[in-house]
């Protein structure tokens, strides 16, 4: 649909931005092809050229740069987007994600806290904020973030019971605050709804790792790696800490 919009109006910057995002996400989670990578790069460049003052265009470019592993330039572009629109959630959220992908837990905290402030009804940012605190060993701060994420995820599920992302992210947060039974129930619902999706499998695998079920965790991770999931995220994700010494885990992420 973004391509059709561009065909109708080749100078419609937000359509180029949307196309770039689609290709970045396809590359990261479903189809890690050279074509998707190239189109994310070219479409995001075009969006910036057409409308450099558009925060959405800047974020799309930054996400594409992150996908290209050009993190230093991506961080600069995220900051430009934030300067343009300090209340643009995606600028803060994806900036935080880019930091986490590099294992820069401390640097991830500020943008993720800003994302939580800008969009209080979002459960993703506090879940990732908890991950950053976990990576730094700040257990109390992590627990507060995870608790908030669970609360907001519950609110989301009350109006949209089929929100798979709320289920699997919420499940991980529940596990981190000691609510094992509920965490497994939420994970089971996510698997029932979309058990072949790489994001579902990845996060359920994280849950199993947190709960001390390495065989189940590795079974999920094998499927995720085959789908082309970015290995640097796996290497820096604190959820896999208990498995890092296992030969099978090392082989999967090497």
Total of domains in the chain: 1
Tell me the HSE value of 17 on the side-chain side, using a 13 A CA sphere: 20
Q: What percent of the chain has pLDDT over 70?
A: 100
- pLDDT of 77 reads 98
**What's the Cα-to-Cα distance from 59 to each of 17, 39, 150, 160, 196, rounded to whole Å?**
8, 16, 27, 27, 29
- pLDDT of 86 reads 98
- pLDDT of 229 reads 77
The answer to whether the beta carbons of residues 42 and 49 sit under 8 Å apart is no
Question: Span 26-53, mean pLDDT?
Answer: 94
pLDDT in tens, 187-233: 999 999 999 999 999 999 999 999 999 999 999 999 998 877 778 89
Structure tokens at 120: 């209080």
Q: Does residue 207 lie in a domain region?
A: no
Question: Span 42-62, mean pLDDT?
Answer: 98
Instruction: Please work out, in degrees rounded to the nearest 5, the angle formed at the alpha carbon of residue 202 by the alpha carbons of 179 and 232.
Output: 120
What is residue 8's three-state secondary structure? helix
CATH of the domain at 61: 1.25.40.10
Q: Does residue 224 lie in a domain region?
A: no
Position with higher pLDDT, 239 vs 30: 239
Q: Does residue 15 lie in a domain region?
A: yes
CB-based contacts of 46, cutoff 8 Å, min separation 6: 13, 16
pLDDT grade for 105, boundaries at 50, 70 and 90: very high
pLDDT in tens, 121-159: 999 999 999 999 999 999 999 999 999 999 999 999 999
Position with higher pLDDT, 185 vs 229: 185
- pLDDT of 168 reads 98
- 175 sits in which H/E element: helix 164-176
Q: Does residue 5 lie in a domain region?
A: yes
Q: What's the chain's average pLDDT?
A: 96
Q: Which of 233, 246, 239 is nearest to 104 (CA)?
A: 233
- Kindly tell me if the per-residue pLDDT of 249 is higher than 80: yes
Question: Span 18-32, mean pLDDT?
Answer: 92
Q: Does residue 6 lie in a domain region?
A: yes
pLDDT grade for 235, boundaries at 50, 70 and 90: very high
Q: Which of 80, 62, 52 is nearest to 24 (CA)?
A: 62
Domain span holding position 71: 1-85
Q: Does residue 28 lie in a domain region?
A: yes
Q: Does residue 40 lie in a domain region?
A: yes
Question: Span 44-72, mean pLDDT?
Answer: 97
Q: Does residue 159 lie in a domain region?
A: no
- pLDDT of 177 reads 98
**What's the Cα-to-Cα distance from 200 to each of 169, 215, 226, rounded to whole Å?**
9, 17, 14
The answer to whether the beta carbons of residues 169 and 131 sit under 8 Å apart is no
């Amino acid at each position: 649909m973004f391509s059709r919009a561009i065909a109708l109006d080749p100078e419609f910057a937000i359509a180029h931005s949307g196309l770039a995002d689609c290709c970045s996400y396809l590359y990261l989670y479903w189809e890690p092809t050279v074509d998707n990578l190239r189109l994310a790069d070219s479409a995001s460049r075009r969006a910036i050229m057409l409308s450099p003052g558009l925060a959405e265009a800047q974020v799309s470019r930054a996400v594409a740069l992150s996908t290209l592993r050009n993190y230093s330039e991506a961080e600069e572009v995220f900051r430009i987007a934030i300067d343009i629109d300090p209340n643009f959630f995606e600028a803060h959220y994806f900036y935080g994600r880019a930091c986490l992908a590099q294992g820069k837990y401390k640097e991830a905290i500020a943008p993720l806290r800003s994302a939580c402030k800008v969009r209080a009804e979002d459960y993703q940012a506090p879940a990732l904020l908890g991950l950053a605190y976990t990576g730094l060993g700040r257990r109390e701060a992590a627990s507060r973030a995870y608790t908030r994420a669970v609360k907001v995820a519950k609110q989301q599920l009350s109006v949209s019971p089929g929100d798979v992302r709320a289920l699997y992210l919420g499940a991980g947060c529940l596990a981190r605050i000691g609510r094992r039974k509920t965490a497994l129930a939420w994970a089971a619902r996510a698997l029932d709804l979309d058990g072949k999706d790489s994001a579902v499998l990845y996060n359920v695998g994280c849950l199993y790792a947190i709960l001390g079920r390495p065989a189940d965790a590795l079974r999920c991770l094998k499927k995720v790696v085959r789908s082309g999931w970015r290995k640097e995220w796996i290497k820096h994700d604190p959820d896999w800490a208990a498995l890092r010494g296992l030969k099978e885990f090392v082989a999967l992420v090497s």
